[in-house]
Amino acid sequence: MSKIAIIADTHGNATALEAVLSDIETRGITRIFCLGDIIGKGPQGSKCIDLIQKTCERVIRGNWDVFIQSETDSDFLKWFQTRMTNEDFSYLKSLEFHIDLELNGELIRMFHASPRSEFERILPWHDIEKRLSMFDASDYTNSGDRTPDMVIYADIHTTFLQTYHSGILCNVGSVGNSLDLTSASYGILDGSSGTNSIQFVRVEYDREKELRIAKEMGLPDFEKYYNEIKYAKYRNA
Ligand SMILES: [Mn+2]
């Protein structure tokens, strides 16, 4: 029961999400947390919302989940908006900013990008001050003076773990839009033995099928999506 699968950045790629959910089920893990960016970039946002709503115990919001709620002049963003239902929008609006979890006496904090904002991107090679600021409190996290022992985040679509005197910082990577390896990525937080550990899992999925679906649905900027799914090549690099 104290094994929790941590997924993030599905980005409308339901093919990858289904493969990851099935991998989680095979391991007998029943608790799943999602760290945001459910929709956008990939073609099946609404389907991802549905799957996540059905399977995840806790879900926090990412930058895409926030800005897709605003009116826009961009044809690119409108494509995603017109394929979402009113219920999808209400669901995204209901999501929380972060999760504080107490496990074996440790405080484990999860958020999408930083403790201050869904839009503040922190990369593994950023200044040490920036990386250490991931353990800071903010108006959002609002949980007193206690520094988290472990911070788990998403947003950068790259799996990594670093240790500091303040604790462990790790990123579970991306399910649907992975940019380190092309395989889908997720994490397993395991507190079942009385101490906490984190494991990274990679899942191969049918990327050709995902690209066929995207093409058939007329996904905008298909070439950019193709390069991300096929070669893990970031569109804004
Ligand atoms: Mn993302």
Span from the CA of 11 to the centroid of ligand 1 (angstroms): 7
CA of residue 114 to ligand 1 center, whole Å = 13
How confident is the model over 42-63, as pLDDT tens digits? 999 999 999 999 999 999 999 9
Q: Please answer whether residues 176 and 189 qualify as being in contact, where contact means their C-beta atoms are separated by less than 8 angstroms.
A: no
pLDDT digits (tens, 9 = 90+) for 100-129: 999 999 999 999 999 999 999 999 999 999
CA of 106 to the centre of ligand 1 (A): 27
Centre of ligand 1 to C-alpha 48, Å, is 14
- What domains can be seen in the chain, in order of their start residue? 3-231 (3.60.21.10)
Residues, Cβ < 5 Å to ion ligand 1: 9, 37
Lowest mean pLDDT among 126-130, 144-148, 167-171: 144-148
**Beta carbons of 181 and 187 less than 8 angstroms apart:** no
pLDDT of residue 143: 65
Condensed to tens digits (0 to 9), the pLDDT of residues 206-236 reads: 999 999 999 999 999 999 999 999 999 999 8
| Beta pairing, strands 197-203 & 184-190 | antiparallel
| Closest by Cα among 142, 133, 64 to 98 | 142
Instruction: Measure Cα distances from 145 to 9, 22, 81, 148, 193 in Å.
Output: 29, 39, 40, 9, 28
Q: How far apart are the first and last CA of the chain?
A: 40
* In contact, 175 and 185? CB cutoff 8 Å: yes
| Distance from Cα 103 to the centre of ligand 1, integer Å | 27
Residue 144 Cα to ligand 1 midpoint, Å, equals: 29
Distance 62 CA to ligand 1 centre (A): 7
Q: Which pLDDT value is given to residue 104?
A: 96
Distances (CA, A) of 193 to 104, 123, 235: 9, 31, 41
Separation of CA 3 and ligand 1 centre (Å): 24
Report CA(174)–ligand 1 centroid distance (Å): 7
Share of the chain above pLDDT 90, in %: 95
pLDDT of amino acid 1? 61
What is the reported pLDDT for 237? Answer: 77
* Å from CA of 39 to ligand 1 middle: 9
179 within 8 A of 228, measured Cβ to Cβ = yes
Cα of 2 vs centre of ligand 1, distance in Å, is 27
Q: What is the mean pLDDT of the chain?
A: 96
pLDDT at 71 over 70: yes
Residues above pLDDT 70, as percent of the chain? 99
Cα 42 to middle of ligand 1, angstroms = 11
The per-residue pLDDT for 111 is 98
**Contact criterion met (CB below 8 Å) for 6 and 57:** no
pLDDT of residue 166: 87
Higher-scoring residue by pLDDT: 163, 166: 163
Section 74-78 average pLDDT: 97
- Whole-number pLDDT of residue 117: 97
